[in-house]
Structure 1
């Protein structure tokens, strides 16, 4: 006799390699800032360093970005996590054209909130995530 156990939560987050690359580039920019001689160079590198640290910190702090389990979805942001029960959630993928390129975004319509997550947020293709979420939804 087998009992179907809850497989546990499934989660998606920015790719670890991408976040690590951002931190490595930030370290390189910090070294460049120390070695820069001209004020214009220091200003340029300082702005680059701030942008790299901000992007890398964001990628590190919001892990996991999306978590799904038997009770519903949890979306993590910089201000905290928000849980939505399955009855409140509608999931779909929308394609948008920007600068001649088509980008897919996972749209989560939940309890008067519209959350759009892209490939960078999820670490994988939004179509794959939507397919898995439809399988998890009771």
Structure 2
């Protein structure tokens, strides 16, 4: 039973990544203005940390696209240092972790995988990683794995 889709991909929303780049640029400008105005060290530190944090988030959102991909052979997870491939035979489990944070229910997709050396790894993906509801993604992964 085929759905006609060879590979499914999930990525952070492009608008969110663009917003992170804009935020990083804004924080960098803020930092430069504080330095030129000889502002206090605390303000410069806050601006610098904000600029660096937003830069890392934007870079990760750009480089790690697609964050997760699934095809008939397995899953591919992309991070800052490139993709990692896990055939379905090394995917031990797919679960949805539901938690309550700040009065809100949140979900994560958990993938239990074995790396090349046989060591167990737990991979977690949230809505920001996937751009979709993690519960829907887990269902799609599970059905693809069963084929």
Per the shorter chain, which TM-score range? 0.7 to 0.9
Which deviates the most, 58-67 or 79-88? 79-88
In the TM superposition, structure 1's runs of 4+ consecutive aligned residues that sit over 4 Å from their partners are: none
CA RMSD of aligned residues (A): 1.9
Q: Residues 6 and 85 of structure 1: is their aligned pair in 2 closer, same or farther, counting only changes over 3 Å?
A: farther
Q: Residues 102 and 81 of structure 1: is their aligned pair in 2 closer, same or farther, counting only changes over 3 Å?
A: same
- Per the TM alignment, residue 39 of structure 1 is displaced from its structure 2 partner at its CA by 2.7
- Per the TM alignment, residue 35 of structure 1 is displaced from its structure 2 partner at its CA by 2.0
SS of equivalent residue, structure 2 residue 132: coil
Which deviates the most, 22-31 or 92-101? 92-101
Of 36, 40, 43, the match for 2:45? 43
Structure 2 residue aligned with 1:52: 54
Structure 1 residue aligned with 2:99: 96
Distance 2:64 2:71 in 1: 18
- How many residues in Structure 1 have an aligned counterpart in Structure 2? 135
- Provide the TM-score with structure 2 as the length reference: 0.82
**Unpaired stretches in structure 2, ≥5 consecutive residues:** 115-119
Which deviates the most, 25-34 or 63-72? 25-34
Of 10, 24, 36, the match for 1:12? 10
**Unpaired stretches in structure 1, ≥5 consecutive residues:** none
Structure 2 residue aligned with 1:25: 23
